[in-house]
Amino acid sequence: MHTFYKGVRAYSANYANADNNFVIQNLKTNNEQRDIYYPSVCVLKNIIMRGLPTQFSCYLSEKLGSNGDLIKIENKILLVSEEGQYWNTTIKGYDETNRFPAKILFDKYLPEKFGEKYAFLKQLIMPEAYINDIVGIYNAEYLNQQVDFYIPTVKLIIEVDGAQHSGKLDTLKDKERDLYLREHGIEVIRIPASAIDNNTKALQNKLSAIENHFDKHHEVLDGYVQQKVNYQNETAQRVLNAVAVMRFQVTILELILSGRLKMGEKVWNIQVRENEISGIEEIAINDLLIWMENLLGLRNINLEIPRVNLTVIGKEDEFDCTLRESVKIDFSILKTWTDEHLKNRDIIFVRNAYFQDENYFTVSTDDPIHYPINDSERKDFGEKTSFETPKELLFLLKNLFGFDAFNSGQARIIAHALSLRNTIGLLPTGSGKSLCYQMAALLQPCISFCVCPIKALMYDQVDNLNERHINRTNFITSDLSPEEKQRIQYEFSRGKYHWVFVSPERFQDAKFREYLDQLNRERNLHIGMAVIDEVHCLSEWGHSFRTSYLNLVKTIMKYSPTATILGLTATASVNTLKNIMVEFEMTDRSDVITTGKYTRDELSFEIEICNSGEAPRALLYQRLSTYRRHFPDIFKGNNKKARCGIIFTPYKNGKNGCYELSADLSKYLEADVKWYSGEKPKKIKHYSDELFTGIKNKTQKGFKKNEFTLLVATKAFGMGIDKPNIRYTIHYGIPSSLEALYQEAGRAGRDREKAQCTVIYEPELYDNIEWLREMFAVETDVNRLKEIQNTVCPPYDNNNGAYNEWTGKDIFKQFMLLTSGLNSYDEDMELARVIYENFAVPGEKGVVIQVNNIRRYKPEHSFTYANLEKTIYHLSIIGIIDDWTVSGYRDNSAKIIVDFCDYSEESISEKLVSYIRNYDALFSLDKNCRRNEYKQYIQEWGGEDSAAVRAFSIYWKWYYNNVIYSRREALKHIMEQCDKFKKEDADKFKRNIEAFFSFNDVTAAFEKISDDQKNFVNWFEVLNIQVIKENGIENMIMSLSRFLESYKNNIGLNFISGFLRLANGDFEDGDGRERLVSALHDISTFSEDEKYELIGKILPLADDLLDEEQKEIFSETVINNIEYDHSSTMLYKGMQDNYSIQYILDSALSSIVKSGRDLEIW
């Protein structure tokens, strides 16, 4: 209730589609009663009030029947009593003259005017209602101002004006107030007190005006009249029982929270005066105790079930006052509340509320609960060895979501998050990541939020939750008006939602941070779960990196200090995962929870390769035509058995963009084919943002409802959208990585029925192969990438007003998307230098930086807002910038308000090295370091610029060398898999994808090598004949590929990759010879003993695994690239290969010849 009414608390909760709002009177708050049970009682109260209405528990369904039909009743059941309504002291009068005109109006004249038909209206009249409650908007001018009577049902105020209203000033104020109320749709009728006292014609005229107002609202009032008849039918009785159970349960929970009833007590003495509904009390209490037993069991607290002495009396009966320790409840679901509670303070009154359009729900909060679910035994990375899902968690799963069992990995993620440890959860697409955070959040007596990268995902999540009758949620997006955003943020800070969905950009908004601060500090409402959905977007190493995720985790930790952070994704490269762990300040790998297998049995994959001269569009048409031959109605909308599909394209513009492609397909198929993109295509740039948003929302909802069956979309529709009947996906062009393919193809088959995933792939022309090799070469830098890209796929020619001829196909198109979003090293350095030299002051706060400010210093550069915010983030990594917020729309006019660290040149260099070592533990700027890959950084560090500028330069070179390398490797790996695809062995492609994403003993060993690359003893956990036979070389190569995307120069991974590629017959692949040679150069820096031991360990495997030709290649590679005098001898002894013996003989002969020459000279 917005305004405080003495002894009255309002609630919104229901198990049926009926009036939702009720009050409990005479509850007393006792904060000292917060015992060990208190937080779990808060959780239970939040759970049963999770929707409006929400579903019965299994126990209630067993006792009362399912309430599914009661929730879906078309016309809401209105609750009202025909009994008289009596107020004791609230209706005001003139005590000194013993005149009470308002009370006379209420008790006599209004009932006479209502007649028998509308006698119930007296129950709906609220005396002394507050104006701010009536209007629903806070207005300081009318704070604590009340009206004599208000009838919410017909939006009518009745004022009784005494002599004090006759003055000019008072009359003017009354008119102003009436005008304000009418502007908000509320009619005001004023009746002079004297007219009531004397029953004058003026009174009758006013009563007639009231009657006329009722006539205007007769449909609403007739609805109440009809209810009197409906209350007697079976369905209405079931509704009333459901309403009563909810209200009684909330009452019991409030009595526990206030200390009137205590968990753990042996006996509860409860007296209930039943006014309309009987026989539900025991069922309601038993249900609560079953819930509590499981909630406490999850905390390892044994609940001693109290014996409930329940005494039920009739509405005319008196309570037994001799039972001193008993709780007395006067329970009615039809009567509205009065001030009767003020004369009977030892009785709890439960009554209907007047304002039925309000939402009185607030989350019941306490400190987050640490659930000690046993999670001690686990492997380093992957499946836990001995995790048994607690029966209590299965109970909660069934009762909250209707499932009998968890999908693999779900229970472990939930359990880990509930133990209040920051958690990263990795699950395959379609495995129920959303359920993980939803259950974890519902089991905390706290408010939570979920960060989503795309609005479509937010809307989809809210729709899915609503279908499960969990609707105490909301979202904050740019689609909302400023007023709507303000309202939802305010309500969030007041605890009105279990959780809200927010975009990552919101956390750089100063106003939103204020609301978070209010929630945590001023109102003491704790944040329980801070969920980051699609958490791979947080990392610059990821295939879907979002600039808006910059600084996100740091901000969450600062403004939500009690929160447990839960990051969820289906895909994350090794360095993406490491980056996320760094952001989460996570050092224990056991905090990363996943399932060992990424198998999606229902999905099949196929690559349609465009042969020379074959157009991708023709293959697309052919594929869709094949679908129609098999299923003639496949493209017809509003089909109950719809077989829906998504075509993913990398572009929103051009003939292959979603907008134009959908139009072409609509004509070709003579069907309704829609499109979806995150940003406006060029052809509709003139559309307003509001119109574009409306189109997107309509498309998303229409697709979910099967109004049309085929959608052409960019990756903006590829994350998290949950539609069960997608039978096929088609990638019109190769995706940027196996991760992207798996993420987007995973939209299909979410109902576990068979689905097909196709990639239409146009390989590069033979003339471009050499360019391609150079682009994929490890040492090719960003500037060279752009040069090659511009040669093969020239940019727009402003002189000719057209594009020059492109020869690049799918891979070069992906390179274009990669390089188009990149600055050069020089551009980034310039921007960082401008900020550092012109804005940065150690310890300075609130410095405003805008793109226009920057351009004044470097007018020749076309810096953008995105460049600026990204550079600010990078400067925070090396310890120059501490924090920032953004004011205004995120374009070049936006103001970025920056707080600088109290930095020094020494602290900058320390932060730089510390950050890079998160990804490369051997990184060093020591001039004595011998590793080739560090030489350019060491040379840079020895330059003459300031330490800060040198740190910028090193950071950006390292960033481009590694992050861009990672994205190139990802593209290379999907290209290799597509190139190798054979229709007769399509399952192999799928097996390779699953091996790429799997977590097992082999990947655990690779992880260990990643962290400790020089410890070659670890290498032989995988370079082991038994391990290779059990896992298969190809599967191991695929698993290793995922690590190679993240580690450019890891000695151990390079050595293993080169050796396995050699054994598999593809040594000339970029991950073969080149990596083995690089590893051997690094091994040359090992001690003589280490080299001897390493070669000795590899030789038995080489002799067993390699054929004669491969042995010779191995010997040649080792001998020519390692600085070790005994290598050839050891190789021959171990393998008896021709190359090593020939090398030994040639070396001996060379020595003899040299000795002969020396003798001649002598």
How many angstroms separate the CA atoms of 941 and 925, rounded? 7
By the 8 A CB rule, do 579 and 539 touch? yes
pLDDT digits (tens, 9 = 90+) for 918-959: 888 888 898 888 888 888 899 989 888 888 889 989 998 888
Average pLDDT for residues 65-83, to the nearest whole number? 89
pLDDT band with cut points at 50, 70 and 90 for residue 34: confident
Mean pLDDT, the chain, integer: 88
Residue 1: pLDDT above 70?
Answer: no
Neighbours of 519 (CB within 10 A): 23
Q: How many residues does the chain have?
A: 1162
Q: What average pLDDT does the segment 477-498 reach?
A: 89
Do 458 and 475 meet the contact criterion of CB atoms below 8 Å apart? yes
Edge-to-edge strand ranges of the sheet holding 603-609: 603-609, 755-761, 726-732, 644-648, 710-713, 673-676
Burial status of residue 621 (CB atoms within 10 A of its CB: 0-12, 13-18, 19 or more): middle
Least confident span in 84-98, 264-278, 298-312: 84-98
The dihedrals phi and psi of 264, each to the nearest 5 degrees, come to 95, -15
- For 620, the token pair is 């697309």
Q: Is 878 exposed, middle or buried (0-12, 13-18, 19+ CB in 10 A)?
A: buried
Sequence-distant (6+) residues with CB within 8 A of 1155 are none
Q: How far is CA 415 from CA 437, 497, 560, 781, in A?
A: 11, 23, 21, 44
Q: Given this model, what pLDDT does residue 379 score?
A: 39
Residues of the chain above pLDDT 90, percent:
53
Q: Which residues contact 468 (CB under 8 A, 6 or more apart)?
A: 51, 55, 401, 402
- In this predicted structure, which of 459-468, 590-599, 741-750, 1119-1128 has the lowest mean pLDDT? 590-599
pLDDT of the residue at 1153: 73
The stretch 1084-1089 carries a mean pLDDT of 92
Q: Cis omega before residue 53 (within 30°)?
A: yes
Rounded Cα–Cα distance for residues 1146 and 1132 (Å): 14
For the chain, give percent helix, strand, coil, nearest 5.
50, 15, 35
- The pLDDT of residue 447 is 95
Give the Cβ contact number of residue 1067 at 10 Å: 20
Confidence of residue 581 (pLDDT cuts 50, 70, 90): confident
Domains of the chain by start residue, with CATH:
402-594 (3.40.50.300), 603-761 (3.40.50.300), 766-808 (no CATH), 981-1154 (no CATH)
pLDDT of residue 801: 45
pLDDT of residue 1060: 96
Tell me whether residue 1088 is exposed, middle or buried, using C-beta atoms within 10 angstroms of its C-beta: 0 to 12, 13 to 18, 19 or more: exposed
Instruction: Tell whether the model's pLDDT for residue 849 goes beyond 50.
Output: yes
Per-residue pLDDT reduced to its tens digit, 238-287: 999 999 999 999 999 999 999 999 998 999 999 999 999 899 999 999 99
Check pLDDT > 60 for residue 107: yes
Q: Is the per-residue pLDDT at 323 higher than 60?
A: yes
Angle between helices 1088-1105 and 1051-1064 (to 10 degrees): 20
Return all residues near 7 (Cβ < 8 A) that are at least 6 apart: 25, 26, 27, 341, 342, 345
3-state secondary structure of 426: strand
Checking if the pLDDT of 1114 tops 90, the result is yes
Contact 725, 751 (CB under 8 A): yes
Strands 187-192 and 267-274: unpaired
First and final CA of the chain: distance in angstroms? 111
pLDDT in tens, 704-750: 999 999 999 998 886 657 888 999 999 999 999 998 898 899 889 98
The pLDDT, as a whole number, for residue 31 is 57
Both structure tokens of 319: 């309570």
Nearest-angstrom CA–CA distance, 1133 and 1137: 9
d(CA 545, CA 866): 13
Which tokens in the block code for residue 1068? Answer: 């000339």
954-982 confidence digits (pLDDT tens): 998 888 888 888 888 889 999 999 998 88
pLDDT at 542: 62
Identify residue 373 by its one-letter amino acid code.
Answer: I
- Return the half-sphere exposure (C-beta side, CA atoms, 13 A cut-off) of residue 251: 31
Q: Could you please report the per-residue DSSP string of 139-207?
A: -GGGTT-EEEEEEGGGTEEEEEE-GGG-SHHHHHHHHHHHHHHHHTT-EEEEEEHHHHHHT-HHHHHHH
Are the beta carbons of 327 and 269 closer than 8 angstroms? yes
Which of 62-71, 168-177, 398-407, 412-421 shows the lowest per-residue confidence on average (mean pLDDT)? 168-177
Taking only the tens place, the pLDDT of each residue in 124-163 is 999 999 999 999 888 889 988 999 999 999 999 999 988 7
Q: Given this model, what pLDDT does residue 397 score?
A: 97
In this structure, the number of other CB atoms found within 10 A of the CB of residue 145 comes to 12
Q: How far apart are CA 876 and CA 912, in angstroms?
A: 10
pTM, to two decimals: 0.87
- Split at pLDDT 50, 70, 90, the class of 376 is very low
Helix, strand, or coil (residue 1016):
coil
